[in-house]
Structure 1
């Protein structure tokens, strides 16, 4: 949820004019999440709350959100990190989210913006002072569902980068420098933030003409060369239909997040009419990045071998059996009586029937490596939507829509 908030905020910053009448709606979504994160950070001194509900118990419960209470599922435990049980990864991302949101609200709600930024500083201080991974501190409460596979250094870099963007405080530059260069990457996701942090910091070099950040521009361009299909250093696969392919588990999360970086970096390149080379033969321009990102957006919206839009409710052919409790169970308007924790599995989870409720706008995990999508709600790797897929697609869609 914190990564979702950061990405939605970044999109609202970069594409505010292009969002047009959707900008107030975007701000409303950011505020909804930021309010929650503020409560998580402020509820108990010395603690950051990072989760509600035992994930193993929750996954055994197919139930409507309206019916989700202690009576239906007693294992609604609350989880937190603290000095004795640190979580620099989740704290760094929460700090990033609050800092990014503070920029979004700086002009439209200055008092709220200040509150977000003060809390972001405090949470970042906690992340830096008490270092450790929340996977180690919380164990089965987050693993294997949302383990911090990339460690926590990327979140410290990401959080410091966002606080520097929000404050222009040189302290955060020193933090960034102290974290080291780190190895290259060819991915960007809720778990691995290195590429996103480098793009954000490269802006200081390309847009602000600050030579002190040239290294981040170089590392960003190395990342892009690992993504482009015709690059001699590419490490990225593409399906026969042209979809960027990273991992089988919810692949579209990587497609939307990386596409966001491509369109955003193309914007930064445009300010200085910059281009660069991958090896000696491939010249990369802003149009190179836009063309690849557009192809990914078009694929998601229906230009693919299946002629399937992977955004629910968009187009004539879209996923009808998504892995989503509220979508697959009858509405409380249709059946007011509450469901028990396991009552939703039969007949609503295992039925081949379409979901009764359309989760309009949700982007699912997407097709497999052969461009095939089975539209099966039990196949969660492909049929499950996620907030972090949708948050990243907002910027690129606004970019191309305008």
Structure 2
């Protein structure tokens, strides 16, 4: 049995001891084990649903090599992905579904990115970032020379009402760390945070929430939702005090009324209040998290990787929600590793490198070359 397992593992290029436990494996190795399980049963068709979501670039490259090997053995692969570059990299034909309906299909060699996006969302590429130009208002959040022990160094910036402030930078530049420092998840060692011109002490996420600062994590499943709770419970989780009834019990009617209002307002596709959130798509989970924070009427909304793991159609719906929040006068900070997204939706952009803010540009000045210059530390 061990030798047979070893043979199957080596067949796909995975050199691990068959006797190791699953918890000792990386996510990429576990993905490969699933493929081994399928091939060991002589499967002729393998369905892969978003297989690279949690993989590193190296693991993704290895997975693609395995997929090509399986194709050469005559095994059919149905590959479900929102990542367009993957479709063009490994697929022969592409079928597009939208809102549960078949839209069309074509050979990959006959289609380009613009046409594929148009099929997926019913719109052209240039319509993907529905920028809303409005006059920004007063400064809501002001950060002055904040630092922590090692990650963030003298960061200063202003976020204004009615604007989206983008934060760009390479991986490891300190974007997420800066957000968590402002939100109180990390402790600052020096510097000052002001809201509406007044200094506030933020030593924990609870302090941030009380002061009207909301943070949507880049890791939706670990830090954004409680997977085994319902959609309704997740949506009201940050604002439970608003639903307190007699003897500390939750007023379920009031909670469900607000769920109905916000699920409709944000176009959450769900079977209802009681559906488990883990059974929703990534885009709908993100809308529920947005609703959770919008319901507490924050002054500042910090969103880390707002559309990671979300299909193209849901992305535009998220951008439209952000535009509505701009109209409502919210100060919105968006952190994104997607250059097109940052350029497409931001009013201003600050750029980070090695824990420092290395540049700030207006929407009119911003382009990929300017952003990259600051991102690699060239001022």
TM-score tier (shorter):
under 0.3
Q: Kindly name which structure, 1 or 2, has the bigger radius of gyration based on alpha carbons.
A: 2
- Return the TM-score normalized by structure 1: 0.25
